[in-house]
Amino acid sequence: MRHQQFSRLRVRQFESRTLLSTYFVGTTGSDLNAGTSTAPWATLQYAVDHVKPGDTVQVLAGTYQGCRIGTSGTALAPITLEAAPGAKVVINAPGAKNAHGSDIEVENFSQTVSYWTIQGLEVKNAPTAGIDIRNTNHITVQNCYCHNNYNWGIFLAFSNYPTLTHNHCSYSQTQHGIYDSNSGDYATVTYNTCDHNHDCGIQFNADVSMGGKGYMVGNLIAGNILHDNGAGGGAALNFDGLVSSTIENNLLYNNLASGIVLYKNDAAVGSQNNIVVNNTIVMPATGRWAITISNGSTGNVLYNNIIVQQNLNRGALEIDSSSLTGFQSDYNVFSGGVYFSTDGGNTRLSLSSWQSGMAHDQHSLAAATDQLFANLAGNNYHLAAGSPAINHGTFLDAPTIDLTGRLRTNTYGVDIGCYDYPG
């Protein structure tokens, strides 16, 4: 009996050393092939149906139909679907098994799908979403270019711990670049560029009407660049039911509707207890309010933000009376049309009236726009030499790095905005 136990231990130890496999898909391949680099499979669907935890699917250069992923990797052995090194891989239509009209779908109606990485793909022209992720845990999408899709570049529903990083989501025809919905928690959404989307650049929507708890907690939205979104409305960063999350080091410019919005619409609670820190928001002459907080969105903190409002009919910050409890705002730089409102824009306060009447932004300042940036006209929002934003911020809640990943090294105070000087 002791000998049998020892034998089983030896077998397990041997199996743990088994090498992982890499398989290939190519336009000249066949699903009857072995899936090697010289005898690749033909379809993404066959590949994702036949790999196991720890495997990698490398897609050779070419244009393909998409696929539907319904199996899982593990925490120690995720599965990867990626473009082969140096390959331009275009996915421009849903696959035969796809259920939602999206090019790549990650979903299993019977169980949660976990631990996949999708990277390096160009995904376009989908009738719904470029990449569509539902009922999942720990799905990573990185370095993908999702453009000209009908609804969304990347869509998530009921998905926890997703990581979306270094993606480019543009020209969504009816809605958003990135849309995280249905009460998913702990998303990491970093270093994405979202531009020219019809509505929002990035939207979080807790959707209590769809079931679940109706709020989204513990998310990081950082280092994203959002511009030229909102021709159809919305906000560059739009949050309905976002709770206890961090919004930092984002650059927003030339967005045609709003900048950052924290509110409650189809959520169980308002967007509460979020930290909005070291963002740069430059609103165009036709834009809406730079920051709007409403519908019981209490406990939010605004530190170290640069807010430029070029629309003299709107303002920097609009917060309603139901959201003032626990609200904190300080160490910000305001420029252009500087107005504050607590009643939907009917009454507008100057910075001095806001400071004296509401006791916020005691260390904040107003600055001329042409003093702030290296080249405003050229969309270069690095800080200019001598910018009043240099060393004027607080270390409280400030990120340790800036948008470029550069360590914030100022000894006397944090530089305000998404870039540290010099950058």
How confident is the model over 67-88, as pLDDT tens digits?
Answer: 999 999 999 999 999 999 999 9
pLDDT bucket at 409, cuts 50 / 70 / 90: confident
Tens digit of each residue's pLDDT (9 = 90 or more) over 236-278: 999 999 999 999 999 999 999 999 999 999 999 999 999 999 9
3 state SS for the chain: CHHHHHHHHHHHHHHCCCCCCEEEECCCCCCCCCCCCCCCECCHHHHHHHCCCCCEEEECCEEECCEEECCCCCCCCCEEEEECCCCCEEECCCCCCCCCCCCEEECCCCCCEEEEEEECCEEECCCCEEEEEEEEEEEEEECCEEECCCCEEEEEEEEECCEEECCEEECCCCCCCEEEECCCCCCEEECCEEECCCCCCEEEECCHHHCCCCCEECCEEECCEEECCCCCCCEEEEEECEECCEEECCEEECCCCEEEEEECCCCCCCCCCCEEECCEEEECCCCCCCEEECCCCCCCEEECCEEEECCCCCCCEEECHHHCCCCEEECCEEEECCCEECCCCCCCECHHHHHHHHCCCCCCEECCHHHHEEECCCCEEEECCCCCCCCCECCCCCCCECCCCCECCCCCCECCCCCCCCC
Write down the pLDDT at residue 101.
98
328/308 Cα distance (integer angstroms): 19
Length of the chain: 423
Q: Flag whether pLDDT at 18 surpasses 90.
A: no
**Parallel, antiparallel or unpaired: strands 373-375 and 380-383:** antiparallel
Mean local confidence (pLDDT), 76-105: 98
Tens digit of each residue's pLDDT (9 = 90 or more) over 157-182: 999 999 999 999 999 999 999 999 99
How far, in Å, are 24, 55, 186, 231, 404 from residue 38 at the CA level? 9, 18, 41, 47, 40
Q: Flag whether pLDDT at 331 surpasses 80.
A: yes
45/154 Cα distance (integer angstroms): 19
The torsion angles phi and psi of 99, rounded to 5 degrees, stand at -105, -15
Dihedral sign for Cα 254, 244, 191, 125, please.
Answer: negative
pLDDT bucket at 92, cuts 50 / 70 / 90: very high
Write down the pLDDT at residue 138.
98
pLDDT bucket at 13, cuts 50 / 70 / 90: very low
How far, in Å, are 3, 9, 57, 244, 336 from residue 283 at the CA level? 74, 64, 43, 26, 9
pLDDT bucket at 97, cuts 50 / 70 / 90: very high
290/223 Cα distance (integer angstroms): 18
How many CA atoms within 13 Å lie on the side-chain side of 96? Answer: 5
Q: Flag whether pLDDT at 12 surpasses 70.
A: no
pLDDT bucket at 20, cuts 50 / 70 / 90: low
| Tokens found for residue 193 | 């560029």
Q: Flag whether pLDDT at 7 surpasses 80.
A: no
pLDDT bucket at 397, cuts 50 / 70 / 90: very high
Is the pLDDT higher at 276 or at 423?
A: 276
Asked whether 261 and 235 are in contact (CB, 8 A), the reply is yes
Range with lowest mean pLDDT among 84-93, 138-147, 164-173, 408-417: 408-417
Q: In terms of C-beta density within 10 A (0-12 exposed, 13-18 middle, 19 or more buried), how is residue 402 classed?
A: buried
Write down the pLDDT at residue 10.
33
Mean local confidence (pLDDT), 380-401: 97
pLDDT bucket at 337, cuts 50 / 70 / 90: confident
pLDDT bucket at 414, cuts 50 / 70 / 90: very high
Domains of the chain as residue ranges with CATH = 23-368 (2.160.20.10)
Tens digit of each residue's pLDDT (9 = 90 or more) over 342-374: 998 888 999 999 999 999 999 999 999 999 999
Cα-based torsion angle of the residue sequence 286, 266, 250, 118 in order, rounded to the nearest 10 degrees: -120
Tell me what percent of the residues of the chain surpass a pLDDT of 90. Answer: 91
Write down the pLDDT at residue 19.
53
Mean local confidence (pLDDT), 8-15: 35
Cα-based torsion angle of the residue sequence 169, 174, 176, 177 in order, rounded to the nearest 10 degrees: 0
Asked whether 333 and 364 are in contact (CB, 8 A), the reply is yes
293/41 Cα distance (integer angstroms): 51
Tell me what percent of the residues of the chain surpass a pLDDT of 70. Answer: 95
Find tokens 């306060």 and name the residue.
349
Write down the pLDDT at residue 9.
33
